[in-house]
Structure 1
């Protein structure tokens, strides 16, 4: 009986460890989330985007996400950020075409954070992507999800 209890405790520990590992998000996972974020943000920026596009973007983030834009003095929670997106949508601010695309240029990985150099750009008729100026953003992660987006431009 004592051995069964010990084996049970070891098994429970292994299951718990695997569950913890499954919820971890290493740098590859984090970078994939960032690329998904930029793709979803591109979709929100398209002419005729919808509230569903906004909600799809925000679904990629942690419930307690903070969006901070230093230059514009923005400091949003998920709810206030959603409202800001909807205001922009309603006033017709999103007018990009499918040729507009943001891309990650460089990354610096830190503990639960990634510094991203990225750029807006336009896909040319020959298929080449023409970037505009490079920009800097810091992404933070909590429980494997984006929990901080801090724009530093």
Structure 2
């Protein structure tokens, strides 16, 4: 009995440790994929904010969003649907508001959770030959099936 119990326990221990290792790899992979989406989101926004950006740049950004995406900014009017936000981007672009004054988006801190990232960031604005960092702003990103499903602004 003792001779068969030891190999059996060894096999169970091996399976437990293997599954635990695989679970940790999946968590890291998930975290990395959320970070990659977030980086692409900010890279595309920065591209859109420049003079000469195109509607295709906006389309690329919106490909990162779920169909039921919602943007929430209580200070500036509350809830915006995907369509509302898309039309706002296009309107700003056609009115020349994207003129290169935002030179960079600086991530100060972020916390990655399960299907969510909280970001502390600031815009770096170009004024003449000077670069000025704006105020720190906090944003919550929620994800569903590898896309951004909700953005909540806390500034």
Shorter-chain TM-score range: 0.7 to 0.9
> Could you tell me how far apart the structure 2 residues matched to 1:94 and 1:106 are?
26
Question: Deviation of residue 85 (structure 1)?
Answer: 0.9
Give deviations 1:60-115, integer Å, cap 9, x for gaps: 12222111112101422221211111111121111115x70112211122331111
What is the TM-score normalised by the length of structure 2? 0.72
1:71 aligned counterpart, secondary structure: helix
**Counterpart in 2 of 1:102?**
105
Residue 117 of structure 1 is matched in structure 2 by 120
Q: Distance in 1 between matches of 2:33 and 2:75?
A: 29
Return structure 1 stretches of 4+ with deviation > 6 angstroms: none
Shift of 1:130: 5.7
Q: Rg bigger for which structure? A: 2
> Given the alignment of the two structures, is residue 73 of structure 1 paired with residue 74 of structure 2, yes or no?
no
* 1:74-93 pair list within 5 angstroms: 74-93=78-97
Gapped regions of structure 1 (runs ≥ 5): 1-21, 124-128
Of 19, 37, 45, which residue of structure 2 is paired with 1:41? 45
Shift of the alpha carbon at 1:122? Answer: 4.9
Q: RMSD over aligned Cα, in angstroms?
A: 2.5
Judge conservation of contact 1:35–1:104 (CA < 8 Å) in 2.
no
The answer for the alignment partner of 1:144 in structure 2 is: 146
In the superposition, the TM-score normalised over structure 1's length comes to: 0.73
Structure 2: state its 5+ residue gaps: 1-25
Q: Report which of the two has the higher share of helix.
A: 2
Is it true that 1:53 corresponds to 2:57 in the alignment?
A: yes
Summarize the Cα distance change of 1:63–1:152 in structure 2 as closer, same or farther, 3 Å threshold.
same
How far, CA to CA, are the matches of 1:148 and 1:104 in structure 2?
19
Write the distance in 2 (CA, Å) between the matches of 1:116 and 1:42.
Answer: 16
Q: Point out which structure has higher relative CO (alpha carbons under 8 A, 6+ apart).
A: 1
